[in-house]
Amino acid sequence: MVNPQKVSKSVMDTNAHMSPLPPGKTISPAESARYTVDMLESLRKIAAGQGQGVLAHLLELAQAEARMLVRAPESTG
């Protein structure tokens, strides 16, 4: 499991332009994980609709991981 809080700053800065949040706004790890679950569900549906079963399954596994992060206490990491 990748801990996004431990990803190098350069990688995080590279993706800053992709954030759905206004500049300077932060969200909790649980909120981020909830958003990720929603995005993965959209991607899973696309993959399944295209007959990409393995990809759809991998996205479902990623959703399960994100759901665990939603339920995890915020003090862990």
**Per-residue pLDDT reduced to its tens digit, 33-72:** 999 999 999 999 999 999 999 999 999 999 999 999 999 8
Question: Is residue 56 situated within a structural domain?
Answer: yes
Determine, yes or no, domain membership for 1: no
In a domain, residue 54? The reply is yes
- 74 contacts 34 by C-beta, under 8 angstroms: no
Residue 35 lies in a domain: yes
The total number of structural domains in the chain stands at 1
DSSP string, 4-30: GGGS-HHHHHHTGGG-SSPTT----HH
- Under DSSP, is residue 77 helix (H, G, I), strand (E, B) or coil? coil
Whether 57 is in a domain gets the answer yes
In a domain, 4, yes or no: no
Contacts of 49 (CB under 8 A, 6+ apart): none
Residue ranges making up the domain that contains 40: 25-72
∠ at Cα 15 (10, 39), nearest 5°? 140
Q: How confident is the model at residue 8 (pLDDT cuts 50, 70, 90)?
A: very low
Residue 61 lies in a domain: yes
pTM of the full structure: 0.64
For residue 18, is it within any domain? no
